């Protein structure tokens, strides 16, 4: 089971791809779907790998994604 | 309900929220910054630093000048002040003098702090005024259309230099050290963890502190110079930057595509403005001198 999770606010995303590039465990990929502004938001491809480190949240210039660890 | 919550293959706790949100005016989102711009990333680091330093948010004030980075004051849900062009440091100095209890953070861009406001910067550093200056350096005047700024490196194409910049650029970290800053560091938007830690250190340090953050400007700087988008610049930062703590700042000048020296260059203790003021006045006036009283309503 994954240690953490990521939450994405698709409508706020501008598709810069920082989170996809710098995710240390490669949880994300840019989706082929568009949001209402016409950007490709990321989607989760391997949820089980997420460590909840929140590096995606620190990189995201649009405050559209964050990660956290599950409370144990 | 947006489509993400439907797609997510696992459960997100109901009380989970983005750690940035309590520090921002979320009703203003989405912000005006371009896709791939790094200013939002620096804001993330700043909010993490505020969280980790456990600063009293009622006693933190953000002052910004004009420019893309100047918008940070408008988005931060703290006491914030969006000032006239170049005058963020004078306004911040006034704020600090009127209420020394405040933690005053100047958050502005390179054009604002070093072109029109360059004079104020060096004098605040000389006085060792207790301000924390965070300069997001995108190497150009972004909001007005990508003109040559004092920080634009040589050979770069800009709106006002279609055949390449020939003027030597400022080396901001060397300038800050020479002017007398107590703390000087440089990071890029790639170094989020280090930047957040540096900002946290600065929030705990007395005196004039300066952090330069290199940030991509895909719309105006990278596009004219065929440097790709924001992500390409982040990869460039990753590959070209070298951490050298304590490196002599004179050797840390930025070039168009050369090595980027990052790290904490200066961390020293100098007497601050208030200490010097009180010492001098006590010496000359003796008992006739009383330390200035802070009168500021309910603060």
* Res B134: pLDDT: 94
Q: Is the pLDDT of residue B11 over 80?
A: no
Residues of A whose CB is below 8 A from B8: 5, 7, 44, 47
pLDDT tens readout for residues B65-81: 999 999 999 999 999 99
Q: Mean pLDDT throughout B178-205?
A: 93
B163 and chain A: CB distance < 8 Å anywhere? no
Residue B236 belongs to a domain: yes
CB-neighbour burial class of residue B286 (10 A; exposed 0-12, middle 13-18, buried 19+): exposed
CA A49 → CA A2, A5, A9, A58, B206, distances in Å?
6, 9, 20, 18, 42
- Number of structural domains found in chain B: 1
Give the CATH number of the domain where residue B65 resides.
3.40.50.970
* Res B9: pLDDT: 58
Residue B245 belongs to a domain: yes
* Res A71: pLDDT: 80
pLDDT tens readout for residues A1-48: 788 889 898 989 999 999 999 999 999 999 898 989 999 999 998 888
Beta bridge partners of B105: B62, B132
Shortest distance between the Cα of B244 and any Cα of chain A, in A, equals 22
Q: Is the pLDDT of residue B8 over 70?
A: no
Residue B88 belongs to a domain: yes
CB contact under 8 A, A12 and B29: yes
Alpha-carbon distance of B129 to B274, in angstroms, equals: 8
Q: Write down the mean pLDDT value for chain B.
A: 89
Q: Where are the beta strands (DSSP E) in B58-160?
A: 60-64, 79-82, 103-109, 131-137
Beta bridge partners of A29: A43
CA B152 → CA B75, B121, B125, B140, B167, distances in Å?
27, 18, 22, 6, 9
Cα nearest neighbour of B3 on chain A: A10
* Res A59: pLDDT: 93
Q: Is the pLDDT of residue B1 over 50?
A: no
* Res B29: pLDDT: 85
Residue B14 belongs to a domain: no
* Res B299: pLDDT: 54
Alpha-carbon distance of A12 to B24, in angstroms, equals: 14
Q: Is the pLDDT of residue B20 over 90?
A: no
Least confident of B65-79, B119-133, B280-294: B280-294
Q: Mean pLDDT throughout B118-130?
A: 93
Residue B259 belongs to a domain: yes
Q: Is the pLDDT of residue B6 over 60?
A: no
Q: Mean pLDDT throughout B7-15?
A: 68
CA B73 → CA B58, B69, B108, B283, distances in Å?
15, 8, 9, 40
* Res B4: pLDDT: 47
Tell me the domains of chain A and their CATH numbers.
4-69 (3.30.70.20)
Alpha-carbon distance of B96 to B262, in angstroms, equals: 29
B1 and chain A: CB distance < 8 Å anywhere? no
CB contact under 8 A, A21 and B13: no
Instruction: With cut-offs at 50, 70 and 90, classify the pLDDT of residue B298.
Output: low
Residue B2 belongs to a domain: no
Residue B3 belongs to a domain: no
Residue B51 belongs to a domain: yes
Cα nearest neighbour of A7 on chain B: B12
* Res B295: pLDDT: 66
> Which domain does B75 fall in, by range?
25-288
Which residue in this structure is represented by tokens 């009168």? Answer: B295
* Res B2: pLDDT: 46
Q: φ and ψ at B265, to 5 degrees?
A: -95, -40
């Amino acid at each position: 089971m994954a240690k953490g999770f990521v939450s994405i606010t698709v409508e706020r995303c501008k598709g810069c791809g920082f989170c996809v590039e710098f995710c240390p465990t490669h949880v994300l990929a840019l989706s082929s779907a568009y949001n209402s502004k016409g950007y490709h938001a990321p989607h989760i491809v391997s949820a089980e790998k997420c460590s909840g480190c929140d590096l995606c949240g620190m990189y995201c210039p649009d405050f559209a994604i964050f990660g956290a660890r599950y409370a144990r | 309900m947006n489509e993400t919550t439907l797609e997510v293959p696992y459960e997100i706790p109901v009380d989970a929220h983005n750690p940035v949100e309590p520090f921002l005016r979320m009703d203003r989102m989405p912000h005006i910054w371009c896709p791939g711009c790094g200013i939002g990333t620096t804001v993330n680091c700043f909010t993490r630093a505020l969280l980790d330093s456990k600063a009293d948010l009622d006693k933190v004030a953000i002052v910004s000048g004009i420019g893309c980075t100047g918008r940070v004051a408008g988005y931060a849900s703290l006491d914030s002040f969006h000032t006239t062009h170049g005058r963020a440091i004078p306004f911040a100095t006034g704020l600090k003098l009127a209420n020394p209890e405040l933690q005053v953070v100047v958050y502005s861009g390179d054009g604002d702090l070093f072109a029109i406001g360059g004079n104020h910067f060096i004098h605040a550093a000389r006085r060792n005024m207790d301000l924390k200056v965070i300069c997001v350096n995108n190497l150009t005047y972004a909001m007005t259309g990508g003109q040559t700024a004092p920080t634009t490196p040589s050979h770069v194409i800009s709106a006002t230099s279609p055949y390449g910049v020939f003027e030597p650029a400022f080396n901001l970290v060397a300038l800050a050290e020479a002017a007398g800053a107590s703390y000087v560091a440089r990071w890029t938007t790639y170094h989020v963890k280090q930047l957040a830690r540096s900002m946290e250190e600065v929030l705990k340090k007395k005196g004039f502190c300066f952090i330069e953050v290199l940030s991509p400007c895909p719309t105006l700087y990278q596009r004219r110079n065929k440097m790709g988008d924001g992500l390409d610049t982040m990869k460039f930062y990753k590959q070209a930057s070298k951490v050298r703590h304590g490196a002599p700042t004179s050797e840390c000048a930025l070039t168009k595509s050369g090595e980027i020296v990052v790290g904490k260059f200066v961390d020293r203790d100098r007497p601050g403005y208030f200490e010097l003021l009180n010492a001098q006045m006590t010496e000359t006036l003796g008992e006739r001198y009383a330390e200035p009283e802070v009168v500021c309503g309910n603060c």
